[in-house]
Amino acid sequence: MKKILLTLFATALVGVGCMAQTSKTSMNNKKILVVFFSHAGENYAVGNIKVGNTKVVADYISEITGADQFEIVTHKYDGMAYTPLTQLAQEEQNKDERPAFEALITNAKGTKLDKTSLADYDVVFIGGPVWWGTYPQVMFTFFDQYDLNGKTIYPFTTHEGSGLGRCVKDVKQAYPKADVQNGFSIYGHDVKEGKSKVEKWLKSINL
Ligand SMILES: Cc1cc2nc3c(=O)[nH]c(=O)nc-3n(C[C@H](O)[C@H](O)[C@H](O)COP(=O)(O)O)c2cc1C
């Protein structure tokens, strides 16, 4: 009897193991990318931060889903205090500027990938801070340069009151043939304690 019970228990454990394996594999069957811009330094409500709020969320997404990352990197705002940065950002938006950026593409473990095309990704998360009601202009430079039409896109933001602002509308306008899903937003000052909110959102979207 004891032997039978042990065998049943072992079989059940193998079953649970397989289930965990299956759900991970089905998530990983889709190639997922997180495209984001994030500004480290002096910021509203959080002081001087070493890692930008949006990057914290991008890292949660990669940790949970295994997604690669495409970081939109610019040094244009390095070392700027918050108030002059808001002025510069407003000017850029008024002039509809397209600041230059460098691409930093890494896997979920942070290892640099040598890639030029995003063709092999099925699902793309697009995230950034809200600057004057929408994404920073440098993200529009990315939109101009990379065609994500045909992909499933999940916009997200970190913000201090605007929520998603005009971001979802602007992503839809940039990629009219993409399947742009509902967005997710989180207060910048909440991201450090916000992993469970990100996890809940990711569970709800059935990747
Ligand atoms: C230039 C600038 C403009 C901003 N404009 C807005 C805004 O319009 N609405 C809002 O809710 N937050 C605004 N914020 C706050 C940021 O969206 C928020 O701090 C965000 O979490 C920063 O993310 P990051 O650290 O990834 O750059 C602004 C911040 C800056 C620096």
Q: Which of 34, 42, 44, 157 to mutate to test the pocket of ligand 1 (most atoms within 8 A of CB)?
A: 44
User: What's the CA gap between 198 and 201, in Å, rounded?
Assistant: 5
- CB-based burial label for 66 (10 Å; 0-12, 13-18, 19+): middle
Ligand 1 midpoint to CA 172 (Å): 21
Domain CATH code at residue 188: 3.40.50.360
- For residue range 4-62, what is the model confidence (pLDDT) as tens digits? 444 443 444 344 433 333 333 345 589 999 999 999 988 888 888 899 999 999 999 99
Residues 170, 133 contacting (CB under 8 angstroms): no
CB count, 10 Å around CB of 181?
15
The structure tokens 């930008």 sit at 52
Amino acid at 142: F
Q: Clarify whether residues 6 and 56 are in a common domain.
A: no
**C-beta of 44 in contact with ligand 1 (< 6 A):** yes
How many structural domains does the chain have?
2
Residues 13 and 98 in one domain: no
Report how far ligand 1's centroid is from the alpha carbon of 192 (Å): 16
In this structure, are 64 and 45 located in the same domain?
Answer: yes
Residue 136 Cβ inside 6 Å of ligand 1? The answer reads no
Same domain (yes/no): 73, 58: yes
Cβ 17 under 6 angstroms from ligand 1: no
Q: HEC states along 40-52?
A: CEEECCCEEECCC
167 with 193, same domain?
A: yes
Specify whether 48 is located in the same domain as 64: yes
Are both 187 and 113 inside the same structural domain?
yes
If you measure from the C-alpha of residue 123 to the centroid of ligand 1, how many angstroms do you get, rounded to a whole number?
Answer: 25
Whether residue 3 is predicted with pLDDT greater than 90 in this model: the reply is no
186 and 123 within one domain: yes
Higher-confidence residue of 6 and 155: namely 155
Residues 164 and 70 in one domain: yes
DSSP reduced 3-state for 73: strand
pTM (predicted TM-score): 0.88
Boundaries of domain holding 12? 1-30
Q: What is the pLDDT of residues 157-178, one digit of tens each?
A: 999 999 999 999 999 999 999 9
User: Tokens 């089905």 identify what position?
Assistant: 26
Atom of ligand 1 at shortest range from CA of 191: 21
107 shares its domain with 155? yes
Question: What does the pLDDT read at residue 47?
Answer: 84
Q: Are residues 18 and 44 in the same domain?
A: no
Q: Does residue 35 share a domain with residue 20?
A: no
